[in-house]
Amino acid sequence: MAKILFLTDSAADIPKSLREELGIRVMPFPIAMGERELRDGEDFTPQEFYQALAEEPKIPTHAQLTAYQFQQCYEETWKAGYTDLIYTSINSEGSATYQNAVQARGEFFEDHPEARDAFSIRVIDSHTYTMCYGYPVAEGARMAAAGASVEIAAYIQDWVDHVRVLFVAFDLKFAKKSGRVSAAAAFVGEALGLKPIMTFENGASKVVTKVRGEKNVIPTILELAQKEREPGTPYLIIRAARPDQAELLTESCRQA
């Protein structure tokens, strides 16, 4: 019988209670906040992170997870008697973590050739962020608890290959801090009240459209989602520091 370890990183944003319930292992990213280095998901809450975004002169940055860390994890998992490890990673366009996990897999099997036929390591590039890839990891763990095995990695791969992300930046000052948007462009956008609605394509961010004013954001996102969503498939509402907008979007989705 397969014994599967579900592994992901802290950028998947799987709540701690859900990780513990489903036995999902999460590797925390080191986050630099000013002069402090903290572990994502362990040393601060999301609310504290949003506060740091607002207060710190520079955007907090994350360091990649190293091949050495992954090799250690693979060693521990193999010794613990697991038959399979499925790691679903942060977008490879935004971090070298995926490549490091792949490199560590090769090094592990070089050191342990006896494990090749008895221990499977699957590394999946999510091409996205947050619960957009945390969700299929949690669903995969539920599938395993119900007795599934070989089809789980295929399910996670299919999800990340087809998930469609729509998100909006209500405030451009963080994009300006990070250098992703010039100060001039941010000034013009804020002056006109423009809100970019964005997506990810092949791991890269792309502006789908721009709307003027907050009141037009949710109707536009809802219209795009209704056009593109396959009927009957699940959808997620993920929020950052705007619970008011999340509540409005949730209610709009219910009504639709």
Tokens of 144: 């395993």
- Provide the residue type at 144 as one letter: A
Residues in the chain: 256
Q: Which two tokens stand for residue 221?
A: 């996102």
Q: What's the pLDDT band for 187 if we cut at 50, 70, 90?
A: very low
d(CA 92, CA 89): 8
Q: What is the DSSP string of 146-195?
A: TT--HHHHHHHHHHHHH----EE-S-SHHHHHHTSS-HHHHHHHHHHTEE
Question: Bridge partners of 211?
Answer: 195
Q: Tell me the two tokens of residue 122.
A: 């699957």
* Ordered DSSP codes for 97-111: HHHHHHHHHHHHHHH
Q: Which pLDDT does position 161 carry in this prediction?
A: 96
Instruction: Report the range of poorest mean pLDDT among 76-90, 107-121, 175-189, 217-231.
Output: 175-189
Find, among 121, 158, 151, 120, the residue nearest to 136 by Cα. 158
192-205 confidence digits (pLDDT tens): 788 889 898 888 88
Please give the backbone phi and psi of residue 57, each rounded to the nearest 5 degrees, phi first: -65, -25
Q: What is the pLDDT of residue 183?
A: 46
| Residue 47 tokens, joined | 């609310």
Tokens of residue 66, six digits: 């190293």
Query: What element of type H or E holds 167?
Result: strand 167-168
Amino acid 149: pLDDT: 87
Of all residues in the chain, the percent with pLDDT exceeding 70 is 93
Tens digit of pLDDT for each residue in 122-160? 999 999 999 999 999 999 999 999 999 889 999 999 999
Q: Residue range 149-175: average pLDDT?
A: 90
Task: Return d(Cα 143, Cα 22) in angstroms, integer.
Answer: 10
7 CB contacts (<8 Å, ≥6 apart)?
Answer: 24, 25, 26, 27, 73, 77, 85, 86, 87, 88
pLDDT the model gives residue 178? 63
Q: State the pLDDT confidence band at 222, using cuts at 50, 70 and 90.
A: very high
Determine the pLDDT at residue 174: 73
Cβ-count burial of 166 within 10 angstroms (0-12 exposed, 13-18 middle, 19+ buried)? middle
pLDDT above 70: residue 189 = no
Residues 69-79 pLDDT 10s: 999 999 999 99
pLDDT of residue 8 exceeding 70: yes
Please check the confidence at residue 182 and state whether its pLDDT lies above 80: no
Question: Confidence class of residue 184 from pLDDT cuts 50, 70 and 90?
Answer: very low
What would the mean pLDDT of 46-64 be, rounded to a whole number?
84
Q: From the centroid of its chain, how far is CA 234?
A: 17
Model confidence at 180, pLDDT cuts 50, 70, 90, reads low
Q: Average pLDDT of 33-42?
A: 86
Task: Give the whole-angstrom CA distance, residue 8 versus residue 137.
Answer: 8
Angle in degrees, CA 87, 168, 191, rounded to 5: 145
> Binning pLDDT at 50, 70 and 90, where does residue 45 land?
confident
